[in-house]
Amino acid sequence: MESLLRYFDMLCLIPKAPNSISTPEILEKLQNMRYAVDLRTVQRDLVKLSASPLFPIANTENTKPLRWFWIDNSSPMQLPMMSTDEALTFKLAEMFLEPLLPPSVRGRLTGYFDLADKRLKESKFEHWIEKVGVVPNNLPLLPAEIEPSVLAVVYEALLKSLRFKATYQAVNKSPKTYEINPLGLVFRHNSIYLVATIFDYTDVKQLALHRFKDAELSDRIVLVPTDFVLNDYIAQGSFSYPVDNHLEEITLKLKVNVFLKQMLLETPLCAKQKISDIDEKHYLLEAIVTNTKQLNWWLRSFGTGIEVLEPLELRQAFALEVKALSKMYC
Amino acid sequence: MESLLRYFDMLCLIPKAPNSISTPEILEKLQNMRYAVDLRTVQRDLVKLSASPLFPIANTENTKPLRWFWIDNSSPMQLPMMSTDEALTFKLAEMFLEPLLPPSVRGRLTGYFDLADKRLKESKFEHWIEKVGVVPNNLPLLPAEIEPSVLAVVYEALLKSLRFKATYQAVNKSPKTYEINPLGLVFRHNSIYLVATIFDYTDVKQLALHRFKDAELSDRIVLVPTDFVLNDYIAQGSFSYPVDNHLEEITLKLKVNVFLKQMLLETPLCAKQKISDIDEKHYLLEAIVTNTKQLNWWLRSFGTGIEVLEPLELRQAFALEVKALSKMYC
DNA sequence: ATAAAAACGTCCAATTTTGTCGCATTGATG
DNA sequence: CATCAATGCGACAAAATTGGACGTTTTTAT
């Protein structure tokens, strides 16, 4: 029994394919875990384990402190097994994320999605896929593909707080190589942006990950500008959206049609929204929300389905815009 | 070694907490897997395994064929370990899904998100959270909460093709109990709808999951109406959106501003889109897309940022709508 | 060239595992 | 109510495995 646990811990110590760990390192770590074992034992155990198809581990046969790793990046096995509930939820999440995340990011999770697939199949629930659908409420734009090796370096750089050297091709410009000082990742639309400074300059830039041609980790540590906090940086509106300078809570009053009334009953704008009748076909909606660009987009997207009544400034802004639109289309 | 594998397979056979498996059942399944073992051995093994804190399994002490299960729904352990890459991607997915999925659905995955958390913490990468942000491009409506027990029954009913009895409260009506004949789940906006028939009627209904008060699995098998295919049903537009009757591919020509030009360069409307200059501040975008309601919403949401040039019918529709809006706001 | 480290083969005692048996308990059945 | 079958559990001994010890070989570093 003792040995079972040791096997387990040993398997946990072994990293996945690109990485590896040497036999003496495993020995040392096991001894730190209070296992009184011999190097010989570790060697024997590893050979035994790798012999089983259940544990696809292998070693580098050429180097002399043998280095061990998990071979293929197939779906991980787990205890307890993934339940069918979880499996189904995974597949739903996958459908949801498909149009949102770039393939290389989603690719990091394929192991789990495959595991879910397997689970659903072996449970004879193969028809689940015909029983689930997603109706997107936004236009499916094509997410830009990111070079997987770039993503790997960026992840590592961010996690380890290291800089990296990379070739970046800005729009309509020729590629250039910079030393990037990464500060954070921001997802926006269907793209991922790296918030970073370049070389030793202090101005914060946004670099689209899909525009990096290659990347290589450096060993220089990241320098964070004083007072830089990613969330503040986003909230400030420095981030790509033309966000309003001062976000204020407003009491929104809208005249909406039946369709919107139904929708808002199910997914309210805020916890305390009120809906009352105006006439047979129109309803008054009152809600307290923050006045963001997203709100404006949302309001506009329904066209004549929504009439903004209050706040007055917003109504006037809409009136102005409608005038501009009239000129466009007449 | 043989025994290690047996332990492993045994642990795989044991389900999570609400479910359970009896010792003789385990024995039978093991024997099917060509393990020549005695019942006594299985009993002993289970006791041994449950003694270790690594394997939180327990049995029902009162029943006589003892039934075994995994105790707490804590994060699963897995081999090989979750890599930091995967962990980070999980956390990103979590941030993404947070405003989209109802809590009880997302709750099914917390085990994995927690595992990711743990992984990032033990790797001393605790600051990752300060390095990642999501800027949503749609208005965060509040996802309606679904009673977890209802979700469980619906999942099970769908997977096993069984009906269930449930109390449903339609908008502005008092709750009623029906026998539901589930056909499929559809995510739309931030709500989940069950596509189903009721009792033995044949008309297909859409029932919002969050309006179910309770649910209980029946043992009557699901009856699928002839020719019913969920995806067709959605595509038909029977689904709640007022979708256009015949979806056609159109060649869209838009006059867009700088902001949109940038955005569309990064996340194109279609693979073959073209962007050319009109004047200093405006650009011509050409793309072939399907004419959906989502497209119309998207086009409208940018207000004066987009002028629809072609197809002419679409332009005229926009012109008409602008006229209607003019009346509203003047 | 030399020493140190690692891998690997082998032997054997200590330990663990496992089948068997006996007995107690429980639940179903006649 | 008695009986039987199924299960759990303790004990024991045989069988199997494990793991340390030691020696040899190979590789790496100095």
pLDDT by residue (tens digit) across B303-329?
Answer: 888 888 888 888 888 888 888 888 888
Protein residue at shortest CA distance from C1' of D28:
A64
User: What residue of A is the nearest CA neighbor of B144?
Assistant: A267
* pLDDT computed for residue A266 by the predictor: 77
Q: What is the mean pLDDT of residues B147-174?
A: 89
In this predicted structure, the answer to whether residue B95 has a pLDDT above a threshold of 80 is yes
- For residue B329, give how far its alpha carbon lies from the nearest alpha carbon of chain A (Å): 5
CA-to-CA distance for A242 and A237, rounded, in angstroms?
7
When pLDDT is cut at 50, 70 and 90, the band that residue A154 belongs to is very high
Are A214 and A278 in the same domain? Answer: no
CA-to-CA distance for B260 and B232, rounded, in angstroms?
33
* pLDDT computed for residue B232 by the predictor: 80
Strand locations in A189-295, DSSP E? 191-198, 205-208, 212-221, 249-256, 274-277, 283-290
Min mean pLDDT across A186-195, A219-228, B52-61, B121-130 is at B121-130
Q: Which residues contact B58 (CB under 8 A, 6 or more apart)?
A: B50, B68, B69, B71
CATH of the domain at A6: 1.10.10
Contacts of A21-27 spanning 24+ positions with Cβ under 8 A:
A21/A67, A21/A68, A21/A69, A22/A65, A22/A66, A22/A67, A22/A68, A23/A65, A23/A66, A23/A68, A24/A65, A26/A68
Q: What is the mean pLDDT of residues A151-163?
A: 90
In this predicted structure, the answer to whether residue B238 has a pLDDT above a threshold of 70 is no
CA-to-CA distance for B73 and B75, rounded, in angstroms?
6
Are B102 and B172 in the same domain? Answer: no
Q: Give the position of tokens 């209070």.
A: A34
Q: What is the mean pLDDT of residues A127-132?
A: 81
CATH of the domain at A321: 3.30.70
Are B195 and B165 in the same domain? Answer: yes
Inter-chain residue contact B133 with A189, CB threshold 8 Å: no
B63 vs A115, more confident: A115
Q: What is the mean pLDDT of residues A170-189?
A: 87
CA-to-CA distance for A254 and A304, rounded, in angstroms?
12
When pLDDT is cut at 50, 70 and 90, the band that residue B68 belongs to is very high
Inter-chain residue contact A130 with B230, CB threshold 8 Å: yes
* pLDDT computed for residue B242 by the predictor: 43
Q: Nearest nt to A39, CA vs C1'?
A: C6
Residues of A in contact with B105 (CB under 8 A): 89, 92
Are A254 and A321 in the same domain? Answer: yes
Residue B284, exposed/middle/buried by CB under 10 A (0-12, 13-18, 19+)? middle
CATH of the domain at A167: 2.30.30
Protein residue at shortest CA distance from C1' of C6:
A65
CA-to-CA distance for A300 and B304, rounded, in angstroms?
10
Q: Considering chain A, what percentage of its residues have pLDDT values greater than 90?
A: 14
Q: Is the CB of A38 under 7 A from strand D?
A: yes
* pLDDT computed for residue B159 by the predictor: 86
When pLDDT is cut at 50, 70 and 90, the band that residue A217 belongs to is very high
In this predicted structure, the answer to whether residue A58 has a pLDDT above a threshold of 60 is yes
A283 vs B126, more confident: A283
In this predicted structure, the answer to whether residue A242 has a pLDDT above a threshold of 60 is no
Q: At A170, list the tokens.
A: 């800005």
Amino acid at B160: K
Assigned domain for B160 exists: yes
C-beta separation of A311 from A277 below 8 A:
no
Q: Does B70 touch chain A (CB under 8 A)?
A: yes
Q: Is the CB of A185 under 7 A from strand D?
A: no
Task: Determine phi and psi for B152, rounding to 5 degrees.
Answer: -60, -45
DSSP B134-194: EE-SS--PPPPP--HHHHHHHHHHHHHTEEEEEEE--TTS--EEEEEEEEEEEEETTEEEE
Give residue-wise pLDDT tens across range A243-293: 455 567 788 898 988 888 877 877 787 878 888 888 888 899 898 887 777
Inter-chain residue contact B108 with A131, CB threshold 8 Å: no
* pLDDT computed for residue B140 by the predictor: 67
Are A166 and A231 in the same domain? Answer: yes
Inter-chain residue contact A141 with B269, CB threshold 8 Å: yes
Min mean pLDDT across A39-43, A147-151, A256-260, B221-225 is at A256-260
Assigned domain for B230 exists: yes
Cα–Cα distances in Å, from B208 out to A95, B169, B196?
Answer: 19, 9, 11
Q: Does B103 touch chain A (CB under 8 A)?
A: no
* pLDDT computed for residue B196 by the predictor: 92
Residues of A in contact with B230 (CB under 8 A): 130-133
- Residue A183 (CA) to nucleotide C28 (C1'), in angstroms, measures 70
Are A264 and A313 in the same domain? Answer: yes
Q: How many CB pairs under 8 A join A and B?
A: 331
* pLDDT computed for residue A212 by the predictor: 93
Q: Is B98 helix (H, G, I), strand (E, B) or coil?
A: coil
- Residue B2 (CA) to nucleotide D16 (C1'), in angstroms, measures 11
Inter-chain residue contact B304 with A315, CB threshold 8 Å: no
Are B173 and B126 in the same domain? Answer: no
- Pairing between strand A162-168 and B162-168? unpaired
Give residue-wise pLDDT tens across range B74-86: 778 888 888 888 8
Inter-chain residue contact A77 with B77, CB threshold 8 Å: no
Q: What is the mean pLDDT of residues A86-92?
A: 88
Residues of A in contact with B323 (CB under 8 A): 326
Inter-chain residue contact A131 with B158, CB threshold 8 Å: yes
In this predicted structure, the answer to whether residue B180 has a pLDDT above a threshold of 90 is yes
Cα–Cα distances in Å, from B224 out to B62, B181, B185, B228, B229?
Answer: 42, 8, 14, 7, 9
Q: Is the CB of A60 under 7 A from strand C?
A: no
Nearest Cβ partner for B88 among A8, A54, A155:
A155
Inter-chain residue contact A92 with B83, CB threshold 8 Å: no
Assigned domain for A242 exists: no
User: What residue of A is the nearest CA neighbor of B138?
Assistant: A294
- Residues 177-216 of chain B whose Cβ lies under 8 A from any Cβ of chain A: 182-191, 208, 210
Residues 40-69 of A with CB within 7 A of strand D: 40-41, 44-45, 48, 62-64
Domain boundary among B187, B203, B235: B235
Assigned domain for B207 exists: yes
Q: Does B35 touch chain A (CB under 8 A)?
A: no
Q: Which of A2, A46, A79, A149 to mutate to test the interface with B (most CBs of B within 10 A)?
A: A79
Min mean pLDDT across A125-139, B42-56, B110-124 is at A125-139
Cα torsion A299, B298, A290, B242 to 10°: value is 50
Inter-chain residue contact A142 with B268, CB threshold 8 Å: yes
Assigned domain for A142 exists: no
* pLDDT computed for residue B96 by the predictor: 82
Among B43, B39, B35, B25, which residue's Cα sits nearest to residue B5?
B35
Domain tally for chain A?
4
- For residue A316, give how far its alpha carbon lies from the nearest alpha carbon of chain B (Å): 8
When pLDDT is cut at 50, 70 and 90, the band that residue A215 belongs to is very high
Protein residue at shortest CA distance from C1' of C21:
B40
Assigned domain for B56 exists: yes
- Average pLDDT of every residue of chain B: 84
- Residue A65 (CA) to nucleotide D25 (C1'), in angstroms, measures 15
Q: Considering chain B, what percentage of its residues have pLDDT values greater than 90?
A: 16
Q: What is the mean pLDDT of residues B100-121?
A: 87
CA-to-CA distance for A288 and A253, rounded, in angstroms?
9
Domain boundary among A44, A70, A96: A70
Question: Where in the sequence is the domain holding B212, given as residue range(s)?
Answer: 148-235
Q: Does B136 touch chain A (CB under 8 A)?
A: yes
Inter-chain residue contact B84 with A132, CB threshold 8 Å: no
Chain centroid, CA A218 distance in Å: 24
Q: At A324, list the tokens.
A: 């501009």
Among A315, A58, A211, A101, which residue's Cα sits nearest to residue B95?
A101
CA-to-CA distance for B71 and B50, rounded, in angstroms?
10
Assigned domain for B244 exists: no
Inter-chain residue contact B89 with A109, CB threshold 8 Å: yes
CA-to-CA distance for A102 and A112, rounded, in angstroms?
17
Are A310 and A261 in the same domain? Answer: yes
Assigned domain for A77 exists: no
In this predicted structure, the answer to whether residue B247 has a pLDDT above a threshold of 90 is no
Q: Does A129 touch chain B (CB under 8 A)?
A: no
Domain boundary among A17, A45, A70: A70
Residues of A in contact with B170 (CB under 8 A): none
